[in-house]
Structure 1
């Protein structure tokens, strides 16, 4: 081969080398191009967002109504027993007279005194503490009347045909006190005792009759001096 052929082969080798370098350089300027790894994007989160905490309610909590302990109903039982139950429970109690308008809304006339054996006509409970007067109230009959307000007029005993004695009449109502005989005192003193002949009687008893301590028939009437006394109708 002549010198021309050698130089031509060298030129081909050089051209091939340059072509190879151009493919790797990408810019043809001979500088190496630094390849970077592809960036992988993170997949979007599929979890649900956390709920925001709800603010505390600004409305005030309801206030419970005051309540008072109640006792069992003592209507029809002795007022002394009812009062003892109220005291044992630490309740404020009151005793009112029947027919005077006692209620939770006020009114009513309190009894100045009463016999422990008197019957409770009505019981008024106040569990919601509506009235400052009492937690429980007991209503008793007025002297000379029953729980329905009727007058207690003990009928006069009727004489029997034989022996001239008397037969016991029935009383219009009782308070639990018994006389020395078999008859029951319909009207008693504040202490629960039967009256006796000659004792003064209260204004509310004027004209009423009852049996006395000895079983005698007494009427509240005026004596010769105009004073109201229990009398058996006989002088002395």
Structure 2
């Protein structure tokens, strides 16, 4: 049961895989919206449930001990798609998700780390030589609302533009810097079924006129 008072709850696919709930306080009936918080939500997948606890390797740098709340031998709801709510040790943050996938735990891209991390790119966290239209990163196993330093991510853009290349999470200030293949936000033609990249004004006039 989820009881919400004076708050707005929205499904936000892509913020955390496979789905997440975004919760922000006092959104309705107030002049300002509170800062949102995203929480991972499990989604059923085709396949076999996990009937064992998470592997010992997944417990490294966590505050959890066995048996955990994800032990499929104790709980019947650890179905394929179940996202184990791992609690990291003090000073550590979770990177990736520990998900039951057709009877096995996906530990390859999950860990609790104390390495520097990056949140989503904002005007305060983007290098000045990055496009001002960059508004997010493409969700993947290693990129998202929490990204570990040293990781390169594809990015999304505002104003009907498409991100070309990657940006890199670093321990510099600002944390988001250009990736080796960075190009920027390119114009698109929204009336086409598939957006066409228009690198120059002439290209844009040709494909979007």
State the TM-score, normalized to the length of structure 2: 0.24
Query: Of the two, which has the highest radius of gyration?
Result: 1
Higher strand content, 1 or 2: 2
Q: TM-score, normalised by structure 1?
A: 0.22
